[in-house]
A = this chain, B = another copy of it.
Amino acid sequence: MKIALLQPFTIERNVSMREDILKASDLKTTKNRLAILNILDASSGPMTAEEVYSIVAKEVQMSLSTAYRTLGTLSDKGILLKNLSQDGKTYYQFNNHQHKHQLVCTMCSETISIDDCPLTCMEETLIRRTGFIITGHSLEFLGICPKCTGGIKE
Chain A interface (Cβ < 8 Å from any Cβ of B): 83-86, 88, 103, 105-106, 112, 114, 118-119, 122-123, 126, 130-146, 149
Contacts and interface: CB of A to CB of B under 8 A. Distances in A.
A132 B103 contact: yes
A144 B134 CA distance: 6
A118 to B, nearest CB: 5
Given A114-B126, A126-B103, A139 B142 contact: no
Given A88-B84, A126-B141, A130-B145, A135 B106 contact: yes
A139 to B, nearest CB: 5
Contact of A137 (B134, B142, B145): B142
Count of identical protomers in the assembly:
2
Nearest to A145: B132
B146 A86 contact: no
Given A84-B88, A86-B138, A132 B122 contact: no
A142 B75 CA distance: 14
Name which of A105, A135, A143 has the most chain B CB atoms within 10 A of its CB: A143
A135 B144 contact: yes
B141 A123 contact: yes
Contact of A138 (B114, B132, B133, B139): B139
B130 A135 contact: no
